[in-house]
Chain A
């Protein structure tokens, strides 16, 4: 199901035509976030790389870029996790089973799953940023012997804002994966860490040598900026730090320029970039 890393596919007409996928299931993750399960007419979704995204078209409303957040284990249907923050995503959050969504994709470059083989992997996710990282973690767990130590650090505002709580519990129960979760504000039942996700880095340092690890991070850009700075303060090579960026992708194939980020197009050259390629752009406030 998951392709090895290759160069992005050249744009062809079919990459502009949405395929009507049927919604086969919806799971509410948090108050404003849902995960859709969707199936194409042929029944089998196209292969994708962890970290790639699809353009989801709600007919009559508009099209939005949404990262693929996984494959449903039993049905093989594609999953996308959507936070309702705009007109299209709010309408998507109201969809029901049997509704149809237009899908173009998958697009972009994903996480460096091939390069990370044989290495420790640290995953740092914040808020809805866990969604694009979930396929990477699922891939690692499905090919566990190909990777060394794996640590997931996940931060959210509150316990109610944590995505995939049942899956987090299953991951925590594994002996071959360390999961550390923190929230900004705990409730009375919360017995875990409180503080931003970067406060978990010292714990990750005790579990692996971060300078030899591949580090994948996704979350709001300010969070990734802070994570990247903390990692560089620890003398970790920016070539080992990978971020997934989000901009207003429109064509998704590097033509329209809506998602231009310096010399790169996020949709075609990203959304996943090694830090050393984009650090200078992250520091430019206009971007």
Chain B
């Protein structure tokens, strides 16, 4: 896949669409555009967190394997969203699995190269981390709402 296609994907993706063009070019140099067939694993719990996925198209499930219960799907992430932040935090190991539920295309950034770039360019680092914080906050909020059992009826009001 050409760098021009990756650059265009970065221009369209909500995570990167409004960053400086020069930064997009830096990111494009460390990225590849990859398509995963349904059921393909994008990342696996315990393995090195060596990539950052910007989902361009498709649907990805965040899963955890539970002995005796199989893969438990916790949430899904679709086009315009991102997968994976363990690459930011030591020890840089994935905490969950991520599996394509449909054919999925992602811009896959090389995490080691991105970390090295961020250690050199603090403005870029601040920008990426602030965006990632917004993603993490929205996932935390969604998880809390899932725990609330949002669709339960307040039975005390029902005759």
Contact = CB atoms under 8 A, between A and B. Distances in A.
A223 B153 contact: no
B153 A83 contact: yes
Given A161-B151, A226-B145, A87 B61 contact: no
How many B residues touch the partner, as a band? Answer: 20 to 34
A64 B159 contact: yes
Interface in B141-159: 142, 145-146, 148-155, 157-159
A196 B146 contact: yes
B154 A221 contact: yes
Interface in A76-105: 83, 85-89
Interface stretch (B24-32, B74-82, B117-125): B74-82
B102 interface: yes
Contacts of A11: none
A248 B154 CA distance: 11
A255 B122 CA distance: 65
A191 B101 contact: yes
Contact of A184 (B14, B149, B155, B159): B149
Q: Is the interface of A mostly helix, strand, loop or mixed?
A: mixed
Contacts of A196: 142, 145-146, 150
A195 interface: yes
B59 interface: yes
B151 A194 contact: no
Interface in B103-159: 142, 145-146, 148-155, 157-159
Closest CB pairs A-B (n = 10): A127-B151, A86-B158, A196-B145, A85-B158, A194-B76, A223-B150, A195-B75, A86-B159, A193-B76, A186-B73
Interface of B: 14, 59, 61, 70, 73-76, 78-81, 101-102, 142, 145-146, 148-155, 157-159
Given A220-B154, A246-B157, 20 more contacts: A63-B159, A64-B158, A85-B158, A128-B151, A128-B153, A155-B150, A156-B151, A157-B149, A182-B76, A188-B70, A190-B73, A193-B59, A194-B76, A198-B142, A203-B79, A206-B80, A219-B151, A220-B152, A223-B151, A248-B157
